[in-house]
Chain A
Amino acid sequence: KAGVTQTPRYLIKTRGQQVTLSCSPISGHRSVSWYQQTPGQGLQFLFEYFSETQRNKGNFPGRFSGRQFSNSRSEMNVSTLELGDSALYLCASRGTEYEKLFFGSGTQLSVL
């Protein structure tokens, strides 16, 4: 069974640009969560989607948005990039054992 797949693996953008990250969950998983990891901050929850609906959102500005498609694949978008958005963005999917998240390898975003 394939794991969570995130693309691209690395991204370099400049301030003011926007970026879209993609995540394909484990087959059969309908819940997709997004996390931001920065040095010294651990992983911080961005939002969660289930059956194409955002059910929960973390404490991030509106520049961070996402969506989920009917096949459970999810995208995350960050508009008007700032230097502080440089981070590892992790996607996780969840099945019936709802307390366990299965993470992808992440997209490393660098904003110059």
Chain B
Amino acid sequence: DQQVKQNSPSLSVQEGRISILNCDYTNSMFDYFLWYKKYPAEGPTFLISISSIKDKNEDGRFTVFLNKSAKHLSLHIVPSQPGDSAVYFCAASVKGERSYGKLTFGQGTILTVHP
């Protein structure tokens, strides 16, 4: 049972344009959401997060939007740069499980930004 789904395996965008990565979840107990970025041969690195009490969080070129009623979140990257090319994982956690290091991840979306 995939509780966190990233339905787009890949996304290709032009440098300077907006990249929008989407994520859907089914578990209504999730109250904290994160995005991780992974380059080949490296471990995932934390990018940005959002609590369920908010609907938007910004950090530089990265913005995460949360729509709780639709159980949907998205990551916007503006402007996209070639160095952003990586696999992006959406992750979610339940308050109790978060304390014990458990995140539930999506399958990942491969973002390719063309110069």
Residues of A in contact with B (beta carbons under 8 Å apart)? 4, 31-33, 35, 40-45, 48, 50, 55-56, 58, 90, 92, 94, 98-106
Contacts and interface: CB of A to CB of B under 8 A. Distances in A.
Given A104-B43, A105-B42, A42 B93 contact: no
A44 B105 CA distance: 7
B42 A43 contact: no
Interface in B48-63: 49
Nearest to B107: A42
Given A42-B108, A45-B104, A56-B100, 8 more contacts: A4-B43, A31-B101, A50-B101, A56-B97, A92-B43, A99-B32, A102-B46, A105-B42
Which 8 residue pairs across A and B have the least CB separation, nearest first? Answer: A103-B43, A33-B101, A48-B101, A56-B100, A43-B105, A42-B105, A42-B107, A55-B100
A59 to B, nearest CB: 10
27 contacts: A4-B43, A31-B101, A32-B101, A35-B105, A40-B107, A42-B6, A42-B107, A43-B91, A43-B103, A45-B102, A45-B103, A45-B104, A48-B100, A50-B101, A55-B101, A56-B97, A94-B101, A99-B34, A100-B34, A100-B46, A101-B46, A101-B101, A103-B36, A103-B43, A104-B43, A105-B42, A106-B43
B75 to A, nearest CB: 15
A48 B102 contact: yes
B41 interface: yes
Given A56-B97, A92-B101, A42 B4 contact: yes
Given A42-B89, A43-B89, A58 B44 contact: no
A106 B99 CA distance: 22
Nearest to A102: B46
A56 B102 contact: yes
Contacts of B106: 42
